[in-house]
Structure 1
Amino acid sequence: MMTELPDARRHKTGLRGKDMLKINLKQLEAFTATAEYGSFTRAAEELYLTQSTVSAHILALEETLGVQLILRGARRKLTLTEEGRRVYGAARDILDRCRLLQDPESTAQGGELSVGASTAPAQYLLPGLLSGFFQRYGDSRFLLRRGDSAQVHSLLTQGEVRIGVVGGALDRRMFTYQTLCDDRLVLVTAATERFRALKVQGLYGRDLLDEPFIVREETSGTRRVTEEYWKKHGISQDRMRVVACMDNPEAIRRSVAEGMGVSVMSELSVREEANAGKLLTFDLDESGFFRRIYLVWRKDVSLTRMEQAFVTYLRSELKKKG
């Protein structure tokens, strides 16, 4: 959709009618979002675009207007030039007027959401969020598929789901990732007197690497980021005595509780048992170890308004929860 700047703005930028036809709403959206968030990256996340696309839209707008709109600096927040501030006001007005023509709440209603989620988000994060979204958009329908992070990426590639919630960013060339929240990974042990004493002593999870270990399957996001943690801290996995490899967190929890071994797991997946005193959790180190939970979709897929509403809802709700 093409648009024009108001006459006063057009005069100040020296544009002619034929040049105005080169300006489109995507360029104005990219520019205003970048101006408001002070970041190309943040603007890209909000607009469901890549950073390079946002930059290209703004460069095209600057070329058409014949002025520099943004002062770019690697070590400081982006700021607008004088012309940028002038154009921002006009662009914001145009976008606001366009939104009056369409009710985003009504157009987001209805439709099916196909979502693939890795184990911890599927079991402990999404159920309550899906319920809340359904209450707001009652005509929506959900298809939820579960697997490890690699399996969810495969579902996305094959088109069996449109949006994923995963614990690992596996292919940034093919997929768009947005950080949804941070997930604390902890070492989980049985609630025995020996482990209780070690916890009282202030030991961390990486002080307990001589214990028998239960690990997740190789394609698990939890296992991948945990192995990256060991490598980063110079911890050889050869010293670990792996007694079992399991792909089911419930089976791991029960095995740990029965004293078979210890395991690194999402704090989300053991919170209830830890609060009930059935399991003990140890931070891996003094800072705690976190992985990111991502929203992901294919770069060649344009999200529907329903899907955009779902993504916005998830991020908003989790932001409230801190």
Structure 2
Amino acid sequence: MLKFSLKQLEIFVTVAELNSFTNAAKALYLTQSTVSAHISGLESALNTRLFSRDARRSVTLTAQGQRLYPAAKRILSDCRELTSLVENRHEELPLLLGASTVPGQYLLPELLASFLRRRPDCRYLLRRGDSQQIHELLRAGSVRIGFVGARLDPARLRYTPILEDRLVMVTPNTPYYQEKKRAGVFGCDLLGEPTVAREEGSGTDSAVAAYMRRRGFPAAKLRIVARVDNPETIKSMAAHGAGVSVLSALAVRQEVEGGRLLAFEMDPAGLRRHIYAAVRQDETFAELESQFLRFCRSFFGRSSDIE
């Protein structure tokens, strides 16, 4: 009789992939003590040590852990496939979705409502976070389909671009910035202005950092007066004169059209990035999940290789 559980294997794989008991606990919505207890129980059942821990609390797989890891991954994948094989395609099946801020706020509401009209029996479980947090949830298996604005782990996840997004510099609609707009100033020329930035770990922040590196603009010259994790708050702060900000054009369309904010293209070519649907490389999809992914392709009018 087996002396260990699937839950222990799931926690083992999550710790191995995140190299951290703390991050694994966050991804699985468990306490760190619960994660540690499960790992200790698995090590006891197998009579071997699976992780090495150093003084800085860094966690790495032992030689035995490295041998166990691919087998544990196969077992968990087979269990997910078994669930899919016996599932009735017409039963209610929660779609486990994750979304970073921009797709979560400005794309998914219409997408999910449209899919519900096609499949009124469908149910969603949607988890929100920045791009980095959604990646952690995907790797841990807590969500099965993620919508993100950055490709942070191409070795373990598959990304399909579903929509092209522009990033623009937004400013208050004041005479000072109106004059700059008339003069043909670009957003890159405003990078030295007081700035309200997105939080580190967001797809927008990663795209802006990469853009500044390409242009040779030192990060130290960026005058960040605040970092905020909500674009709605950032837009309000910018409109009230707290600073400029680089945001998704999707997020600021109404404010720009209504005259509360001005939007500047970052440069003559424009700063563009993709919104991606991300899944794990080894994922096996249930019928409803495959149908949802096909709907995403048609909804945003893009081809995709996700199946």
1:258 aligns with 2:240: yes
Alignment partners' CA distance in 1, 2:281 and 2:139 = 10
State the TM-score, normalizing by the size of structure 1: 0.64
Aligned to 2:126: 144
1:186 aligns with 2:161: no
Q: How does 1:1-322 map to 2 (within 5 A)?
A: 107=89, 110-319=92-301
- Please state whether the residue corresponding to 2:120 is helix, strand or coil: coil
- Asked whether the equivalents of residues 108 and 305 of structure 1 are also in contact (C-alpha less than 8 Å), the reply is no
State the TM-score, normalizing by the size of structure 2: 0.68
Alignment partners' CA distance in 2, 1:199 and 1:131 = 38
Deviations 1:254-297 (A, max 9, x none): 11111010011111111111111111110100111111111001
Alignment partners' CA distance in 2, 1:109 and 1:197 = 59
Change (3 A) 1:233 1:311: same
Offset of 1:318 from its aligned partner? 1.1
**Which 10-residue stretch deviates more, 232-241 or 116-125?**
232-241
- Please state whether the residue corresponding to 1:214 is helix, strand or coil: strand
Offset of 1:160 from its aligned partner? 1.6
* Fraction of identical pairs, as percent: 44
What is the number of residues matched between the two proteins? 215
- Asked whether the equivalents of residues 274 and 280 of structure 1 are also in contact (C-alpha less than 8 Å), the reply is yes
Q: Which amino acid aligns with 2:183?
A: Q
Alignment partners' CA distance in 1, 2:91 and 2:108 = 20
- Please state whether the residue corresponding to 2:272 is helix, strand or coil: strand
- Please state whether the residue corresponding to 2:246 is helix, strand or coil: strand
Moved over 6 A (4+): none
Alignment partners' CA distance in 2, 1:304 and 1:155 = 19
Alignment partners' CA distance in 2, 1:114 and 1:135 = 18
Change (3 A) 1:164 1:108: farther
- Please state whether the residue corresponding to 2:107 is helix, strand or coil: helix
Alignment partners' CA distance in 2, 1:199 and 1:277 = 13
Q: Which amino acid aligns with 2:293?
A: V
Deviations 1:196-245 (A, max 9, x none): 12112111101112210111111111101110011011112222211111
Alignment partners' CA distance in 2, 1:239 and 1:247 = 21
Aligned to 2:20: none
Alignment partners' CA distance in 1, 2:188 and 2:111 = 33
- Please state whether the residue corresponding to 1:251 is helix, strand or coil: helix
Alignment partners' CA distance in 2, 1:109 and 1:272 = 39
Alignment partners' CA distance in 2, 1:222 and 1:132 = 26
Q: Which amino acid aligns with 1:318?
A: F
Alignment partners' CA distance in 2, 1:119 and 1:212 = 23
Q: Which amino acid aligns with 1:125?
A: L
Change (3 A) 1:108 1:310: farther
Offset of 1:108 from its aligned partner? 7.0
Alignment partners' CA distance in 2, 1:261 and 1:121 = 24
- Please state whether the residue corresponding to 1:161 is helix, strand or coil: coil
- What are the ranges of 5 or more consecutive residues in structure 1 without an aligned counterpart? 1-105
- What are the ranges of 5 or more consecutive residues in structure 2 without an aligned counterpart? 1-87, 303-307
Offset of 1:110 from its aligned partner? 4.2
- Please state whether the residue corresponding to 1:185 is helix, strand or coil: strand
The structure number with the bigger radius of gyration is 1
Alignment partners' CA distance in 2, 1:318 and 1:109 = 26
Cα RMSD, aligned residues only: 1.5
Change (3 A) 1:285 1:130: same
- Please state whether the residue corresponding to 2:278 is helix, strand or coil: strand
Asked which structure has the greater RCO (Cα within 8 Å, sep 6+), the reply is 2
